[in-house]
């Protein structure tokens, strides 16, 4: 069999493919329909890289880890993981505030470790691209609108800021645009050097 269509023809029709067959006696066109599944290479999204910084551990997680280590015999009497988790949760709820303070302190220490590790990791990353002129305006003015309109939703505040931006004159907008251009040039120089 000899295919009369090339790959570009099939790429133009992602939902179905047409295969033409050539026979010696006559030209026969056979149409075959094939659905593209979500598992095809086109539908897959690239996996997001994991951060090398270990996440912070909560006070409850420290407590759970200690209970699993110290009370294995007590937990072995429970059959399922769900029952064991409920039992540990009940122990946590019944824990006195003075005993809970130990785990809270461990969690605070771990949070400090996490923040230090995150800051060190962020320092190794290339500088971020500067925000646009419009986003600079939003950043400056949205907090004022939130204070003046505490019951307004994010969408309503965003519309208010957009209306204020659109009401600005070109000269007023140019201040934000110049600031963006200056920061963009600095960012570009830093990235070319790196």
Residue 143: other Cβ atoms inside 10 A: 11
3-state secondary structure of 18: strand
What are the structural domains of the chain?
A: 1-37 (no CATH), 59-124 (1.10.30), 133-193 (1.10.30)
What mean pLDDT comes out for the span 11-30?
44
Exposed / middle / buried, residue 79 (Cβ in 10 Å: 0-12, 13-18, 19+): exposed
- Select the more confidently predicted residue: 94 or 44: 94
Q: What is the pLDDT of residues 84-143, one digit of tens each?
A: 888 889 989 999 989 999 999 999 999 999 999 998 888 888 778 888 999 999 998 888
The secondary structure of 116-176, three-state, reads: HHHHHHHHHCCCCCCCCHHHHHHHHHHHHHHHHCCCCCHHHHHHHHHHHHHHCCHHHHHHH
Dihedral sign computed on CA atoms, order 110, 114, 117, 119? negative
Task: Annotate 153-180 with b (16+ C-beta within 10 A) or e (fewer).
Answer: eeeebeebbeeebeeeeeeeeeebeeeb
Choice between 78 and 82, residue whose per-residue pLDDT is larger: 82
Please tell me the predicted confidence (pLDDT) of residue 163: 94
Q: Report the pLDDT value the prediction gives residue 45, as an integer from 0 to 100.
A: 73
- Assess whether pLDDT exceeds 70 at residue 1: no
Query: Any bridge partners for residue 18, and if so which?
Result: 31
The pLDDT value given to residue 33: 43
Listed range (68-77, 95-104, 155-164) with the worst mean pLDDT: 68-77
Residue 71: predicted pLDDT: 81
Which positions ≥6 away from 156 have C-beta within 8 Å?
A: 149
The top-scoring range by mean pLDDT among 24-33, 34-43, 129-138 is 129-138
Residue-level pLDDT at 156: 92
- The CA distances from residue 162 to 4, 141, 168, in Å, are 54, 10, 10
Dig out the tokens for 150 from the structure.
């505490």
Q: How confident is the model at residue 189 (pLDDT cuts 50, 70, 90)?
A: confident
């Amino acid at each position: 069999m000899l295919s009369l269509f090339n790959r570009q023809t099939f790429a133009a029709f992602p939902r179905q493919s047409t295969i033409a067959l050539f026979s010696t006696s006559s030209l026969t066109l056979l149409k075959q329909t094939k659905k593209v599944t979500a598992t095809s290479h086109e539908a897959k999204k690239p996996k997001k890289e994991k951060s090398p910084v270990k996440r912070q551990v909560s006070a409850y997680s420290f407590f759970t880890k200690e209970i699993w280590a110290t009370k294995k015999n007590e937990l072995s009497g429970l059959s399922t993981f769900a029952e064991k988790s409920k039992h540990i949760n009940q122990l946590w709820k019944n824990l006195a505030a003075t005993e809970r303070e130990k785990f809270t302190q461990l969690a605070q220490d771990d949070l400090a470790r996490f923040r230090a590790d995150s800051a060190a990791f962020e320092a190794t990353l290339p500088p971020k691209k500067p925000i646009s002129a419009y986003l600079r305006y939003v950043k400056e003015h949205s907090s004022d609108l939130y204070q003046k309109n505490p019951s307004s939703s994010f969408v309503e505040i965003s519309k208010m800021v957009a209306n204020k931006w659109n009401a600005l004159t070109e000269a007023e907008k140019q201040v934000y645009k110049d600031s963006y251009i200056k920061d963009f040039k600095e960012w570009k120089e830093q990235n070319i050097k790196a």
